[in-house]
C-alpha cells in the first residue's frame, strides 16, 4: 500500500498497478485498504488514458461498503480519471463535488488543481482562476514547494491560453527549483515552455518541452500527450511540418481520440 502511494507521487502508473496487485493479495476485499487500492488504480488508469479500465475500477468500488470520507475520495478519483481522459464536463461535475466534500486539505488542494485544469481546457478561464486562487489560499502545516509549483503551473497555463503575460512567472519557477525533488523538475520545464509559447519564443519552447519529455515516465501517457501537443504547436509555428507530424503521430499512438490531436490536425487543415 505504501509502495503504491510512493509510485503515485512519482506518477509511475504501471508500477502503481503492480504494487496494488501485490497488496490486494494480502488485503480483505471489504477493508479500507481495498477501497484505497481501487482508488489508486483509477488514478493509474487516468495517467494511462484508459477510461474503460478506470471505470471498471469505479464499478468495483461501488460494490464495496463506503463511508462519506471514502465516497469523497472516490469522487475525486472520478474527476481525475475524466480529466486525464479529456472528459472535461464530467470531470468538472465530479471535481466540484470533491472540492466541496473533501475534508483533508491536501486532497481538497489536488481537487481544485484538477478542476482548474478542466476549466482551462473548456475555456472557462474565470472559473479556472478561481480554483487556483482557492488552492493557493489553503493553509498547510509546513511549506509545500511542490504545491506552490502546481498552482504556478496552472497560472502559467492559463496565461498562455489567454495570451496574458505573467511577468514574474520565470523568476518564481527559478525560486522554487532548488526545493523540488528530481521527478518534479519536468513541471518546471513545462512552466518554462508555457512562458516561451506565450511569448512566441518557439525554439525555446521546443527545448523546454524536450527537457520535460526526458523527465516524464514513458508510461505516463496523459502528461506526454500534453507535451507532444505543445511540441506540435511550436513546430507548426516554426513551419517544421515533419516535426509537427511526428508530434501528431506520438499522440495518435497514445490517445487516438484525443481532442488535442484533433486540434493539431485542424491547424494543418486550415492552412491547406
93 touches 59 (CB < 8 A): no
On the question of pLDDT at 158 being above 60, the answer is yes
pLDDT at 272 over 80: no
**Per-residue pLDDT at 34:** 83
Q: What's the confidence (pLDDT) of residue 195? A: 97
Residue 4 has pLDDT above 80, yes or no: no
pLDDT for res 2 = 57
pTM of the model: 0.94
Delimit the domains of the chain by residue range: 147-198, 216-272
79-92: average pLDDT:
98
pLDDT (mean) for 171-183:
93
For 121-132, what is the mean pLDDT? 97
Contact in structure between 45 and 53 (CB atoms under 8 Å): yes
Q: What is the structure's pLDDT at 190?
A: 97
Q: What percent of the chain has pLDDT over 90?
A: 79
Tracing cell 491536501 back to the chain, one arrives at: 106
- Write down the pLDDT at residue 271: 64
Which three cell numbers, joined as nine digits, stand for 30? Answer: 471489504
CB environment 83-93: b (16+ within 10 A), e (fewer): bbbbbbeebbb
Question: 218-256 burial string, b = 16+ CB within 10 Å, else e?
Answer: ebbbbbbbbbbbbbbbbbbeeebeebbeebbebbbebbe
Model pLDDT, residue 144: 87
Residue 56 has pLDDT above 60, yes or no: yes
Mean pLDDT of the chain: 93
What confidence tens digit (pLDDT) does each residue in 214-239 have?
Answer: 999 999 999 999 999 999 999 999 99
Average pLDDT over residues 193-198: 97
What is the pLDDT averaged over residues 79-86? 98
The DSSP code sequence of the chain is -HHHHHHHHHT-HHHHHHHHHHHHTTS-TTSHHHHHHHHHHHHHHHHTT-HHHHHHHHHHHHTS---HHHHHHHHHHHHHHHHHTT-HHHHHHHHHHHHHH--SHHHHHHHHHHHHHHHHHTT-HHHHHHHHHHHHH---SS--HHHHHHHHHHHHHHHHHHT---TTHHHHHHHHGGGS-GGGHHHHHHHHHHHHHHTT-HHHHHHHHHHHHHHS-TT-HHHHHHHHHHHHHHHHHTT-HHHHHHHHHHHHHH-TT-HHHHHHHHHHHHH-
Positive or negative, the CA dihedral 255, 128, 162, 145 is negative
Residue 87 has pLDDT above 70, yes or no: yes
Task: Return the half-sphere exposure (C-beta side, CA atoms, 13 A cut-off) of residue 145.
Answer: 15
Residue 245 has pLDDT above 80, yes or no: yes
Highest mean pLDDT among 22-31, 122-131, 135-144 belongs to 122-131
Residue 253 has which C-alpha cell? Answer: 499512438
What per-residue confidence (pLDDT) applies to 66? Answer: 76
Q: Is pLDDT above 70 for 154?
A: yes
Q: Do 108 and 102 form a contact (C-beta atoms < 8 A)?
A: yes
Among 8-12, 18-22, 52-56, 251-255, where is mean pLDDT lowest?
A: 8-12
Sequence-ordered list of residues with C-beta below 8 angstroms from that of 122, at least 6 positions apart, any chain: 88, 89, 92
Amino acid at each position: 500500500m505504501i509502495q503504491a502511494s510512493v509510485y503515485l507521487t512519482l506518477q509511475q502508473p504501471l508500477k502503481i498497478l503492480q504494487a496494488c496487485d501485490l497488496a490486494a493479495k494480502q488485503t480483505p476485499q471489504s477493508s479500507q485498504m481495498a477501497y484505497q487500492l481501487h482508488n489508486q488504480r483509477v488514478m493509474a488508469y487516468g495517467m494511462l488514458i484508459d477510461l474503460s479500465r478506470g471505470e471498471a475500477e469505479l464499478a468495483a468500488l461501488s460494490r464495496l461498503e463506503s463511508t462519506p470520507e471514502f465516497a469523497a475520495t472516490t469522487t475525486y478519483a472520478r474527476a481525475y480519471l475524466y480529466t486525464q481522459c479529456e472528459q472535461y464536463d464530467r470531470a468538472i461535475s465530479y471535481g466540484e463535488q470533491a472540492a466541496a466534500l473533501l475534508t483533508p486539505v491536501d486532497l481538497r488542494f489536488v481537487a481544485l488543481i484538477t478542476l482548474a485544469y478542466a476549466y482551462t481546457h473548456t475555456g472557462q478561464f474565470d472559473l479556472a482562476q478561481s480554483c487556483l486562487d482557492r488552492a493557493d489560499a489553503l493553509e498547510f502545516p509546513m511549506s509545500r514547494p511542490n504545491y506552490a509549483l502546481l498552482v504556478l503551473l496552472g497560472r502559467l497555463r492559463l496565461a498562455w491560453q489567454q495570451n496574458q503575460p505573467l511577468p514574474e512567472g520565470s523568476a518564481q519557477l527559478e525560486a522554487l527549483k532548488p526545493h523540488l525533488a528530481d521527478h518534479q523538475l519536468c513541471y518546471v520545464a513545462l512552466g518554462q515552455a508555457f512562458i516561451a509559447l506565450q511569448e512566441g519564443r518557439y525554439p525555446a519552447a521546443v527545448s523546454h518541452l524536450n527537457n520535460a519529455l526526458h523527465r516524464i515516465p514513458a508510461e505516463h501517457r496523459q502528461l506526454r500527450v500534453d507535451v507532444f501537443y505543445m511540441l506540435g504547436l511550436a513546430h507548426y509555428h516554426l513551419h517544421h511540418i515533419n516535426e509537427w507530424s511526428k508530434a501528431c503521430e506520438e499522440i495518435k499512438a497514445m490517445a487516438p481520440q484525443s481532442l488535442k490531436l484533433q486540434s493539431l490536425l485542424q491547424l494543418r487543415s486550415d492552412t491547406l
